[in-house]
Amino acid sequence: MTQRFNEYETEVLKAIRPSESEKAEILSLADELVSAVNESGIAKGMVTGSVARDTWISGDRDLDIFMLFSPELTPEELEEKGLSLAKSIAAAFGGDYVEKYAQHPYLNAAIRGFDVDLVPCYAVEDASKIKSAVDRTPFHTRYMRGRIADKTDDVRLLKMFSKACGVYGSDQMTGGFAGYLCEIFICYYGSFRGCLKAAAEDWHTGLVIDLEKHQAKEFDDPLTVIDPTDPRRNVAASLTQTRMSEFCEFARGYLKNPSKEFFVRKTALPITKDELAARLNERGTFLYGIVFKTPGIIPDVIVPQLKRSEVSIAALLERHGFCINRFDSYMGDDNCIILFEMLTESLPAVEKRIGPPVWESENSERFIAKHLGKTMSGPYIRDSRYYVEVKRRYPTVMSLFKSRDFIECGLGKHVKNSVVKEYGVFTGAECHRDEFAAFLGEFFEEKSPLVKILERN
């Protein structure tokens, strides 16, 4: 009989499996909060997430309490009654709270050392009748609770493994696995190592996983995992191609040479300003950071806009002849930065442009008329085409970043609004500031998750 967990996994589980006292503490608070919701008479309380399914990792202090309201309420009534109930419960438990927003507002409260989300939703009959995205969550809990009961340790291992790989988190900045997705993997493959073996040997772009075999929609994502409770939803929609590939590589590395290192998350050390200057001198590249105030919108909205803005700016730079090595972006609490490492920062004043073939008479006449008397050379003919050499509009990266063309290059809506108000362009080590130090450290130490482990051993 094959041993379920090897020596490393057994040791890791001892550290990440919650103790009985830990379970008792969080479940006691969960019961009290659910009772408070029920006693309101206007909603039913429900514990959701990893606590409800016993797949949480020791030390986690997150607790999700859903408040299920009648589907007959309007969205405005749900918002009003839901927030009012959440605030009264948070106040009764002595917790500080802040309003947050998903598809509609909910409350995040600090209660007895736990990070508690009090989330209003509709008590719909089945997942096909959801009125808001959060209405699915209770169905996820009901579906998984029994199916995962004897595999909770496998889920914990997969979560810890994914954290160490850097692919845990379905937020837009991470682009990785949600906890619910990890649970689906374990249900589908049967075990932690079964999931890793599949990822190492069988995963490929376009793979579809459908536990219930009820897919009702096609998806153009790297990996499609049909929600067992909703045939039209891809649970892996936020997973990027890069994160999927990193996980496959990490799984191969572990199966070949297992060790505890594959369950330890190593974050990049923040880089100092002097270290950044030394690194740039060593590389011989040119660093540009576009910095602006972080818009007051949730990360799941801003981060995709940052990513789109990166690509638009990169295309603008390349259209004007500048060579990019790498680029990335980061959303901080106060400021955002879009970072470009350039291979060139200036170009000659002259720019050569190609014209039409000589035998296209109308196009040729227009080309000559457009450039007549306005060039450094030309129009002239080489072989069968016209050419001109004109004064370059943007001879430096900085001049392009300070232009109207930069503002209008296709920045995300909220990114552009912030940039228009005020932005700075910093070069070299001047890109450094404390809130970007870890991001800059990661940028210049970029290696695949497996390579990081191989270098440490």
Contact (CB, 8 A) for 44 and 51: no
d(CA 19, CA 447): 35
Torsion of CA 302, 308, 312, 318, to 10 degrees: 120
Q: Which two tokens stand for residue 235?
A: 């649970």
When pLDDT is cut at 50, 70 and 90, the band that residue 128 belongs to is confident
Confidence at residue 1, expressed as pLDDT on a 0 to 100 scale: 40
Percentage of the chain exceeding pLDDT 90: 87
d(CA 194, CA 157): 12
Contact (CB, 8 A) for 242 and 409: no
When pLDDT is cut at 50, 70 and 90, the band that residue 102 belongs to is low
Q: Can you list the positions of beta strands (E) in 30-129?
A: 44-48, 62-69, 96-101, 105-111, 114-122
Residue-wise pLDDT tens digits, 28-75: 999 999 999 999 999 999 999 999 999 999 999 999 999 999 999 999
Confidence at residue 104, expressed as pLDDT on a 0 to 100 scale: 74
Confidence at residue 342, expressed as pLDDT on a 0 to 100 scale: 98
Confidence at residue 103, expressed as pLDDT on a 0 to 100 scale: 66
Rg (CA), the chain: 27
Q: Which two tokens stand for residue 92?
A: 């009764």
Q: Which two tokens stand for residue 268?
A: 């990049």
Whether 173 shows a pLDDT value over 90: the answer reads no
User: Region 307-319: what's the mean pLDDT?
Assistant: 96
When pLDDT is cut at 50, 70 and 90, the band that residue 423 belongs to is very high
Does an H or E element contain 441, and which?
helix 437-444
User: Region 180-188: what's the mean pLDDT?
Assistant: 97
Q: Provide the CATH topology of domain 273-346+395-456.
A: Alpha-Beta Plaits (3.30.70)
Q: Provide the CATH topology of domain 149-263.
A: Poly(a)-polymerase, middle domain (1.10.1410)
Q: Where are the domains of the chain?
A: 18-135, 149-263, 273-346+395-456, 350-391
Neighbour tally for 126: CB within 10 Å: 9
Q: Which residues pair with 388 in a beta bridge?
A: 353
The pTM (predicted TM-score) of the whole model is 0.85
Q: Provide the CATH topology of domain 350-391.
A: Alpha-Beta Plaits (3.30.70)
User: Region 384-389: what's the mean pLDDT?
Assistant: 96
Whether 230 shows a pLDDT value over 70: the answer reads yes
Check if 273-346+395-456 and 350-391 are the same fold.
yes
Confidence at residue 171, expressed as pLDDT on a 0 to 100 scale: 80
Q: Which CATH architecture has domain 18-135?
A: 2-Layer Sandwich (3.30)
Confidence at residue 312, expressed as pLDDT on a 0 to 100 scale: 97
Confidence at residue 33, expressed as pLDDT on a 0 to 100 scale: 97
